[in-house]
């Protein structure tokens, strides 16, 4: 498994880590979150960085890779 990430993918990763994870949150009781944001975030991260060992799963015994949620289709990613 290559651990090199092409720079375009790095830029997209950096974008994901910002627009989906940071930025001002305008109060939960009124803001309606986009239903599939979390799924897209996790899915794209997995595709882009071959994350089989995210920080929190790394602390678990290396028995088997974490269960991978359904990934967005290529059409959604492209």
Q: Which residues here bind another protein, judged by CB under 8 A?
A: 3, 5, 7, 10-12, 14-37, 40, 44-45, 49-51, 53-55, 58-59, 61-63, 72, 76-78
Measured distance CA(1)–CA(74) in Å, rounded: 20
Identify which of residues 3 and 67 has a Cβ nearer to another protein in the complex: 3
Give the span between the Cα atoms of 27 and 30, in whole angstroms: 6
- Provide the minimum distance between the beta carbon of 70 and another protein in the complex, in angstroms, as a whole number: 14
Q: Which structure tokens are listed for 44? A: 């794209």
Of the pair 35, 67, the CB lying nearest another protein is at 35
């Amino acid at each position: 498994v290559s651990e090199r990430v092409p720079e375009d993918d790095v830029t997209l990763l950096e974008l994901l880590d910002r627009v989906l994870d940071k930025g001002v949150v305008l109060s939960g009781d009124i803001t309606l979150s986009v239903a599939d944001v979390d799924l897209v975030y996790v899915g794209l991260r997995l595709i882009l960085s071959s994350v089989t060992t995210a920080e929190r799963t790394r602390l678990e015994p290396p028995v088997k890779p974490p269960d991978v949620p359904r990934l967005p289709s290529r059409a959604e990613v492209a």
